[in-house]
Every structure is written in structure tokens, then in C-alpha cells.
Amino acid sequence: MGKSFSIQTRKNRLISDTAEALLPVCTIMVTRNRVDLLARAIAAVLAQSAPCQLLVIDNQSSDGTAQYLQKMAQSYPDRVKFRSLARNVGGAGGFHHGLRQAYSEGFALFWLLDDDAMADPQALARLLAARQTREQAGNPAAFYCSKVLWRDGSLCQMNIPRPATDTSTPPLPAHLRPVRDATFVSLLLDRAVLQQYGLPFAQYFIWFDDTDFTRRLSRHAPGILCLDSIVVHETASNEPFALTNASKADVWKYAYGLRNETSHIGATLGLRACLQFIGRTLKMLAGSALAAQVKAKLSLALLRGLFFRPAIEFPSPGGQGQSHG
């Protein structure tokens, strides 16, 4: 069981009350109808040089995922557990549920992984080493993320963290870089962070939930990109997020992402910045070659985001969350 933590902000630093460097880790993975990729991702977790337990959140899969997970839980009773949800709550809801459950079970550290992320055997150990470096320096980071590559060894374009704008970060080793956001493809979090700043928004469902969450954290202390912790993200293609790539088949995902980004801007930068973002995006959509139906759905998502303000929820050891506006 993990110890209780408390943190406070002091001179833009994250302060933890623990002197321990390595604590029990729960790896959290969310999946839906990708049992073949999931099996490979789980194999990579079980092959990690640093020990961890694995919690898989199954988002109402119908491709045999539950049966596979049952078999894995029986084969590795001390390493693997899973939770099958009664409905699909999206990646955002899945990680929210997973963090809440792992927190209530007493884990001290949480490693978030996508079900198509193949982690190098040293990936977790190097994230933990980076955490140890920052803890010993008395300057813990808000989160620690891996360098994410695509299948051909190039950088995965959807998983490139943005550099931190805070210039007060003490000097770091060459393989560690301060960042302001990251994705849930490979992200290490401390229990203390969840206590202080809450859980990701389950209501986001899909896309931009990780960016919103890590930016919430990095407003208090930068995150750390660990260049020697490697994960390969096996997406179908390696393209950065762009609204102009939306099609009738997948516009629903882009609509969620756009609604969520609009909400994030309104909540963090204010109404004026939100309206400016909406205006720029509407102008871009009007001049694009997207189908009229796609433009309409994306435009509606912008308007929804203007009024979409979910409350931050905080975990509790007993598993019952608290909400704060």
C-alpha cells in the first residue's frame, strides 16, 4: 500500500512530503476492441525491468477482450487485473476511472499507457529514475513522460510535448527536458499530484483530455520529458492533429477534440481568448475543402465548447470522488 502524500506550491515548485524515490506503481491502460494490439502492449508491460502492477480498463469491448483479460488475470494474479465497464466512456473516462480505482487501492505512482503503445523494457525504470533525480534535488516535476516514436523510428507527431515556458527550472541533465503538456501514451504521475490538482475530466470522452490535464498540472510545476524512456506508438499513420484531416467517418472524434480545446481555452484563458479561438477556427473551416456536413459538425462543436465547463473531481482513498467547480 502506498503512503499518504501532501504537496504544496512554493516558488512554482511541487513539494512532496516523501523522501522515498521508488514506490509501488500501477500501470493503467484503457482499451476498446483492439485485443491484438492490447496483447502486445501488455506483454511489453510485463517485460518491464521495473516491477509494476497492471490495471486494464475495458471500454465495453465486443471482440473477445474481456475473455483475453480474464485469462491474463488468471495467469498473472499478482500482476494483472481488469475492470470491464458497462458502457463506453471513452479514453478520457477510462483513464479517469482507472486513476480513481488505483488511487483508492493505495498505489503511490501511476503509469498511464495507451493500448497501442509498446514500451521499451527500460521505459518505466527510466521514468522512475528521472523522478528520483528531481526528488533528490528537492524539485519534483508535475509529471514525467516518455519520448514517443512511431513505427519507423521517427517521432510520433501526435505525441510531441510542448516545451515549458517557465525559465526558472533548475538545470537538468541533457536527457531531461521541461515540458508544459504531454499525452497519456506514456505518463508517470505521483499520488500527491492527484490529491492536489484532481483527476482528468471524464466528460471529455476522447481527445485533448491529456493535454488539458497535463497543462493543469504544469501551471504549478513543469513536467519532464525523459528522452531515454522510449515508447513506440503504433497508430495507423504518423500525422499531427489537423482539423483539415477530418472526414465524415471520423468527424465525431475531431468534434470532441475541438469542443474540449475550446472549453480548455475558455476555462484557462478567459472568454475573450475563447471567442478569438472560435473566430479563427470558423474562418479556417470556411476556407477549407472539408465537406459541408463536416464543417457544420465542427462549427457546432466550437459553440458547445463555449459553454462546456466540467468540474474537477478529486479522488479519495475510499474511491468516492469529490467535485470542485
Per-residue pLDDT tens for 14-36?
334 333 433 489 999 999 999 99
Least confident residue range of 57-61, 96-100, 239-243: 239-243
How far is Cα 82 from Cα 29, in angstroms, rounded to an integer? 9
- With vertex at residue 238, the alpha carbon angle to CA 48 and CA 61, rounded to the nearest 5 degrees, is 60
Cell digits of residue 255: 468534434
Alpha-carbon distances, residue 113 vs 13, 42, 110, 140, 206 (angstroms):
26, 10, 10, 21, 15
Residue 30 in contact with residue 95, Cβ under 8 Å? yes
* pLDDT tens digits, 134-174: 988 888 999 999 999 999 999 999 999 999 987 666 788 89
Q: pLDDT band at 318, cuts 50/70/90?
A: low
Closest by CA position to 24, among listed 57, 1, 48, 49: 1
Cβ partners under 8 Å of residue 225, min gap 6: 145, 146, 147, 161, 176, 177, 178, 179, 182
- Mean pLDDT score of the chain: 90
Residues forming a β-bridge with 54 = 27, 80
How far is Cα 162 from Cα 178, in angstroms, rounded to an integer? 9
Residue ranges of the domains in the chain? 7-239, 243-307
Greatest Cα pair distance, the chain, in angstroms, is 57
Cell digits of residue 268: 484557462
Residue 171 in contact with residue 58, Cβ under 8 Å? no
Architecture of domain 7-239: Alpha-Beta Complex (3.90)
Q: pLDDT band at 177, cuts 50/70/90?
A: very high
> Half-sphere exposure of 167 toward its Cβ, with a 13 Å CA cutoff?
0
How far is Cα 144 from Cα 125, in angstroms, rounded to an integer? 12
Residue 150 in contact with residue 238, Cβ under 8 Å? yes
Residues forming a β-bridge with 56 = 29, 82
Q: At residue 105, what are phi and psi to the nearest 5 degrees?
A: -85, -5
Q: What is the dihedral of CA 162, 199, 238, 255, to 10 degrees?
A: -100
Task: Report helix, strand and coil shares of the chain as percent, to nearest 5.
Answer: 40, 20, 40
Average pLDDT over residues 263-269: 97
Residue 167 CA to chain centroid, in angstroms?
A: 24
Q: Give the model's pLDDT for residue 320.
A: 46
The residue written with cell numbers 527550472 in the block is 169
Closest by CA position to 261, among listed 307, 309, 212: 212
Residue 16 in contact with residue 42, Cβ under 8 Å? no
Closest by CA position to 216, among listed 260, 251, 176: 260
* pLDDT tens digits, 187-221: 999 999 999 999 999 999 999 999 999 999 999 89
